[in-house]
Chains A and B, each alone.
Chain A
């Protein structure tokens, strides 16, 4: 019997458990800081400070907010469907966290005589796994919007479904160029293939398409029609309060880390540094983190700049511009690689 996907693991089971716990803990420690960082950076782009009252430099702002959310009364509308209403945020956060496993934070290291890969798992279907989980994460949004039993939530969820499906096509196609250049689907393999040249230079069109599609995939401005607070109150999470709302919020930011991580891995050379600098292995996670922060800052920069697109503009951008561009990029890459 052949396995559907080859999984390269050589660590004993207890190392795998420790790895998953460490990745989970580190990312969930970063998430609140990332939220403050976004708000502060957004403030700077708009010539103001952002949160700076709670704790030093406002760093305790998320603690205060999480305490506030946790104290809120659990609430749901009478028209909502209880089981699905509770399940939806859980789906969202599980898919977001599961996708984190794929981001390579560094190369294989020797720690206490063990060979440990600084990533959750290295599967031979790399990006497909991420896109599959991204596909499942629709259910979190769809079920959340539908089970709320409210018009605004439902509208937001409908928009979300249409938007995510149309942009997932371009997002997937945009990295096929990289995959056929690197001749591998493994994310660590793709990083190793970038030793000479990071892929955002030869695959610039793919990089741009991937970034734009990522904005839509993570429901970020200018594609945040799903939330669209001016017209839909809050989109699919209008009826959510308290901890389920926090789950949605964290899922959104975890998704942004995943997408930034994938962009950093596939296009920006993962843990590699330019100019042939080869630092010791323990630096790798920090390099990846710096690159993720760079992509994340770009997300915030765009959010501070661009107004929200109209729905038809969103669709025509996705299908009429991004998809042909991604296909063209793929064709040209295929011809260059084959010849």
Chain B
């Protein structure tokens, strides 16, 4: 008596018929040559590598990179009025806004108040773009920068001045239809 009862539900393995010697030789030799041709054809095509630090991948116009704060072009006043709606919308809770009143001597923004402190903790930001959607004055938008690595975490907390400044190096933008 066998220790295992081989019942009916054991399925026999169905294998493809083994090739004849000629077919086997063709499979071994012909297919090898085909493979060699495949790899050889990669040489005239050239590499597809993008040499990253020198050569950057262009981004799409709607790419959500590092944030930017904006000013009015004519008056130079900040668009941000310190309403904190972006901070409320932020799911990662990475925006901190402290608002202050505009005075006639010190007029920073076009509205009643302005953001005295505007910080984005980029190490927490998930680049969802909800802040951009929430902003009633288009004061904050998502830029195209994606190179934000730094040596310490505190360096990744971007202040208002940093967010208002133009990016030092422009990220290449994909052309229409590219």
Contacts and interface: CB of A to CB of B under 8 A. Distances in A.
B78 to A, nearest CB: 43
A301 B36 contact: yes
Q: Point out which of B42, B46, B51 has the most chain A C-beta atoms below 10 A from its C-beta.
A: B42
Interface in A64-99: none
A177 B45 CA distance: 40
Contact of A47 (B32, B35, B47): B47
Contacts of A48: 47-49
Contact of B47 (A43, A304, A305): A43
Interface string A37-78: 000000111111100000000000000000000000000000
Contacts of B46: 47
Contacts of B35: 305-306
Given A45-B39, A45-B42, A306 B32 contact: yes
A46 B42 contact: yes
B43 A44 contact: yes
B42 A47 contact: yes
B4 interface: no
- Main SS of the interface on chain A? helix
Interface string A279-320: 000000000000000000000011011100000000000000
Contacts of B48: 47-48
A113 B32 CA distance: 52
B49 A45 contact: no
A301 B39 contact: yes
A43 B35 CA distance: 16
B47 A45 contact: no
Interface in B35-63: 35-36, 38-40, 42-43, 45-49, 51
Contact of B40 (A43, A49, A301, A306): A301
Contacts of B51: 49
Contact of B43 (A45, A302, A306): A45
A49 B43 contact: no
B47 A49 contact: yes
B42 A305 contact: no
Contacts of B32: 305-306
B39 A305 contact: yes
A124 B46 CA distance: 47
B7 to A, nearest CB: 32
Contacts of B42: 44-47
Given A305-B35, A306-B32, A45 B45 contact: no
Contact of B36 (A44, A46, A49, A302): A302
Contact of B38 (A43, A44, A49, A305): A305
Nearest to A45: B39
Interface string A176-207: 00000000000000000000000000000000
A332 to B, nearest CB: 18
A301 B32 CA distance: 12
Interface in B9-53: 32, 35-36, 38-40, 42-43, 45-49, 51
A302 B33 CA distance: 10
A56 to B, nearest CB: 15
B28 to A, nearest CB: 8
A46 B43 CA distance: 8
13 contacts: A45-B40, A45-B42, A45-B43, A46-B42, A47-B42, A47-B49, A302-B36, A305-B35, A305-B36, A305-B38, A305-B39, A306-B32, A306-B35
Given A48-B47, A301-B36, 8 more contacts: A43-B47, A44-B47, A45-B42, A47-B46, A48-B49, A301-B40, A305-B32, A305-B39
